[in-house]
Amino acid sequence: MKMLFGFLLVLVLNGCSMNRVLDYAQGGEPDDFPVLKAVGYAVIDIQPGPSQAEKMLQAIRASKMDAYRELAEQLNGQQVRGLSSYRDLTQTSNSLDVSVAGMVRGARVIASYPRGNTYATEMELDTRALYNINQLMAGQF
């Protein structure tokens, strides 16, 4: 029970933290426009494909998708669900599910390169560009 209470306390305190979700679809120009950065990784050898060249292409794509996932986490946050079960004051199971959902617009690839058996893709999102895209879509630009 103490562990469940502690977990819930951490979630509540995290929800009250100063981190803010960027929502430039709402009116009013923000005071600052941070540049968000993300790096995605993919292991080359475990990618599907008959040749090393095809595995490399798959790793390039996977690392880019991983970088997009990281940007989506920064923009939209993560949904975290935890469940602990107890019987006779003994924990019988414990699970944690984390998911990310959201749209990323205006991101660009800064660098994409192999590093040993891993492929990395560095991306950035200038939130000023995101603000401008949202203004165009709303017809307010």
pTM beyond cutoff 0.95: no
What tokens were used for 79? Answer: 């949904």
What is the per-residue pLDDT for 27? 58
Which residues are registered as beta bridge partners of 97? 81
Answer whether residue 30 shows pLDDT above 50. Answer: yes
Where do we find the tokens 């993919």? 42
User: Quick one: pLDDT at residue 141?
Assistant: 52
| DSSP strand pairing (118-126 vs 35-43) | antiparallel
pLDDT at 85: 95
Model pLDDT for residues 104-135, shown as the tens digit of each residue: 888 999 999 999 999 999 999 998 888 888 78
Q: How confident is the model at residue 40 (pLDDT cuts 50, 70, 90)?
A: very high
